Amino acid sequence: MQGSSSPGTWTQGLLAGSGVVTACLAVVYGCFFFLCKQGAVLPPLCAYTTDPYDAVGSFGIQLAALVCVVAFMRVMRMRRSADTGEALLFIRSLAVVNLTVLATMVSDVVAMLRTVPSWGHTVLGWSIFADNLVMAAASAMLCALSARAGRPAAPGIHLLPWRTTLLVWVVVAGMLAAYPSVWESGMIGGVLTALVGMLALFALVAMGARSLLGYAQSMDAGYGTTILGWPGRLVAWRRLARIMFALLVAGGFATWTLIAEAVPSSRVVTVLGVYALLEFCGVLTGHVTLTRFLELM
The DSSP result for 156-191, as a single string, is TEEPPPHHHHHHHHHHHHHHHHH--GGGG-HHHHHH
Range of the domain at 264: 7-294
Q: Please, what is the end-to-end C-alpha distance for the chain in angstroms?
A: 24
Q: How far apart (Å, rounded) are the C-alpha atoms in residues 212 and 99? A: 10
Residue 238 lies in a domain: yes
- The answer to whether the beta carbons of residues 64 and 26 sit under 8 Å apart is yes
198, part of any domain: yes
What is this structure's pTM?
A: 0.86
CB-based burial, 241-253: b 16+ in 10 Å, e otherwise: ebeeebeebbeeb
Q: Is residue 193 part of a domain?
A: yes
Neighbouring C-beta atoms of residue 140, cutoff 10 Å: 16
Q: Do 97 and 22 meet the contact criterion of CB atoms below 8 Å apart? A: yes
> From CA 100, how far away is CA 67, in angstroms rounded?
10
Angle at 57 between CA 44 and CA 69, to 5 degrees: 140
Whole-angstrom Cα distance, residue 140 to residue 137? 5
**Structural domains of the chain, count:** 1
Domain assignment present for 251: yes
- With respect to residue 2, please indicate whether it lies within any of the assigned structural domains: no
Whether 95 and 212 have beta carbons less than 8 Å apart is answered as yes
- CA gap 119, 196 in Å, rounded: 25
pLDDT in tens, 195-222: 999 999 999 999 999 998 886 544 444 4
Residue 191 to residue 249: CA distance in whole angstroms: 19
1 domain-assigned: no
Tens of pLDDT along the chain (297 residues) come to 444 445 545 556 677 788 889 999 999 998 988 888 776 678 888 888 899 999 999 899 989 998 998 898 888 887 776 666 778 888 899 999 999 999 999 999 999 999 999 999 999 999 999 999 999 999 999 998 888 776 655 566 678 888 999 999 999 999 999 999 888 888 889 899 999 999 999 999 999 999 988 865 444 444 445 554 444 444 555 556 666 766 676 677 667 666 666 667 777 777 777 887 888 888 889 988 998 888 876
